[in-house]
Amino acid sequence: MATKVTPLSGFPELLPAERLLELAFLDTIREVFELHGFAPIETRAVEPVERLVGKGGDTDKEIYAVGRLAARGEESGESDLGLHFDLTVPFARYVLEHAGRLSFPFRRYQIQKVWRGERPQEGRFREFTQADIDVVDVDTLAPHFEAEMPLVIAEAFARLPIGEFRIQVNNRRIPEGFYQGIGLTDVAGTLRIVDKLDKIGPAGVTRLLLEAGATAEQAEQCLALAAIRTEDAGFVDRVRALGVTNDVLEDGLRALAAVIDTAAAVAPGVVVADLRIARGLDYYTGTVYETQLVGDEEWGSVCSGGRYDALASDGRTTYPGVGISIGVSRLVHLMVTKRGLTANRSTPSAVLVAVTHEDSRPASTAVATALRARGIACEVAPRADRFGKQIRYADRRGIPYVWFPGADGPGDEVKDIRSGEQVPADPATWECPAADLHPTVVGG
RNA sequence: GUGGGUGUAGCUCAGCAGGUAGAGCAUCUGGUUGUGGUCCAGAGGGCCGCGGGUUCAAGUCCCGUCACUCACCCCA
């Protein structure tokens, strides 16, 4: 039965060359994560719904429910399951479940799909991949981990062909204490409004704040705070100059200054204090991160996270943590569609072994086996077409070399179809140039 | 969930005073009988998203519906 196929909005699928690009990104990310000693884990795709709800604010209603078709309408007694919408909530559950077998502080990385049922848009998907690192400890978490997270990301991003980027850091206690200090009680609501600053500008934010019940002076103070952005701990004096005193505020200033001082010493200019950012899910309690690509800030954040002190608790023991997550799908999608990045071929094959005649296919297969034994990815031509077609088969896929087996015994030759150069070669000794061994990232 | 836009060939799109479906690219074949890319010639390929209505006649007008898309919300 021929059913018309249509794309599913928000569930993107990549072509081979794009997937190879994504894999190249993932390889780099994983390598850097492991260089920093993060241990790999994977959690199941589903969690009991009651564990997911209430953790991510408005994401509650975006959770995908999962159930057996046969369970519909029956009193199954099964607990309701939902697909996880991030990797932090499942990780918190994982820590509680396996605490007895883990060593703390526990540092792990996790690269998996997550699902959110929100309306898709450019660079916003319903199914996407996150690459997440977190550190959790028992009862207390040393503050230096909050400086470490963005530095690991900075190292990974520096190895990716994505250009310049800025990791913006804030501490939620700063706006919280500040807003309280000037008499605003709806901290979350105010944060949400101020967060729109980039989109609607100061006048728009002022208008919304006034509508929310703030005075003109309070709105002005909010904007003054949000305007502060420094590459070092200079933000502390600028906040103090606003004349607001509050213990929570002071606490936040101290914490953020510590993160910025540490980060600035290692990666100056990459990690900046930006007091307007407030994002992240509801469970963040202190430091929060957000990352933008320089020149393409309107794309939104491609990496964010923060510190959470109460996400994982069994009632007796609390496991505070801090983590940060790369939006791999968004990053790759934007690189492909906006910057023209892709892989230089649509298959891993470095060599196409031609088939002279169907009768001699075993000889071609033997060549391929010899090449593979030495780590050279290759495939055998699907048909014993005339050589022009076999070369075209390779050309269409970006395969750089075509191997022509000799008629009888020796006499093999390999052709670089880009240059046209063709030389005698032996499958047991031929060296594929390192640059051609694997697909590489091109474009941009 | 709310509002706007768009649904025609694999892809990008044209067609609209209502009169039995087009272009470019891609694919395939041949020129080129075992060495590609250029060029030339040709071919295949469409319930014009779906359902209903108006009409002698609907890809074209009307209504509905679904999908995609942009914005809001929220977020990687």
pLDDT digits over A284-309, tens only?
A: 889 999 999 998 888 889 999 999 99
pLDDT of residue A59: 63
Q: Which nucleotide is nearest to A9 (CA to C1')?
A: B68
B32 C1' – A4 CA distance, angstroms? 40
Domain ranges of chain A: 16-67+77-342, 351-442
Average pLDDT score over residue span A5-21: 87
Q: Which nucleotide is nearest to A62 (CA to C1')?
A: B74
The two beta strands, A401-404 and A351-353, are parallel
Nucleotides of B under 7 A from a protein CB: 1-2, 27, 29, 32-37, 49, 67-76
The ipTM estimated for the assembled molecules is: 0.88
Q: Which nucleotide is nearest to A306 (CA to C1')?
A: B76
Fold of domain A351-442: Rossmann fold (3.40.50)
Average pLDDT score over residue span A423-427: 94
Element (H, E) at A199: helix A197-211
Interval A120-159: pLDDT, tens? 888 899 999 999 999 999 999 999 999 999 999 999 999 9
Q: How far is CA A303 from CA A150, A269, A326, in A?
A: 9, 17, 4
Please check the confidence at residue A248 and state whether its pLDDT lies above 80. Answer: yes
Question: Virtual CA dihedral for A327, A332, A335, A340, nearest 10 degrees?
Answer: -170
CB neighbours of residue A10 within 10 Å:
17
B68 C1' – A120 CA distance, angstroms? 11
* CA dist., res. A402 & res. A371, Å (int): 12
The average confidence (pLDDT) of chain A is: 91
B38 C1' – A59 CA distance, angstroms? 56
Higher-confidence residue of A61 and A437: namely A437
Share of chain A above pLDDT 90, in %: 67
Element (H, E) at A169: strand A165-171
pLDDT of residue A1: 36
Please check the confidence at residue A69 and state whether its pLDDT lies above 90. Answer: no
* Residue type at position A39: A
The alpha carbon dihedral of A405, A407, A413, A416 has a sign of: negative
Under 8 Å between Cβ of A439 and A387: no
pLDDT of residue A277: 86
Under 8 Å between Cβ of A396 and A16: no
Element (H, E) at A297: none
Higher-confidence residue of A58 and A357: namely A357
Average pLDDT score over residue span A243-262: 95
B31 C1' – A388 CA distance, angstroms? 15
Fold of domain A16-67+77-342: BirA Bifunctional Protein; domain 2 (3.30.930)
Q: Which nucleotide is nearest to A407 (CA to C1')?
A: B34
Residue nearest to nucleotide B70 (CA to C1'): A121
B64 C1' – A115 CA distance, angstroms? 32
Q: Which nucleotide is nearest to A280 (CA to C1')?
A: B75
Strand partners of residue A76: none
B14 C1' – A258 CA distance, angstroms? 62
pLDDT of residue A3: 56
Interval A166-212: pLDDT, tens? 999 999 999 999 999 999 988 888 888 888 888 888 888 999 999 88
* CA dist., res. A217 & res. A182, Å (int): 9
> Can you list the alpha helix ranges (DSSP code H) found in A212-268?
216-226, 235-240, 247-266
pLDDT of residue A2: 44
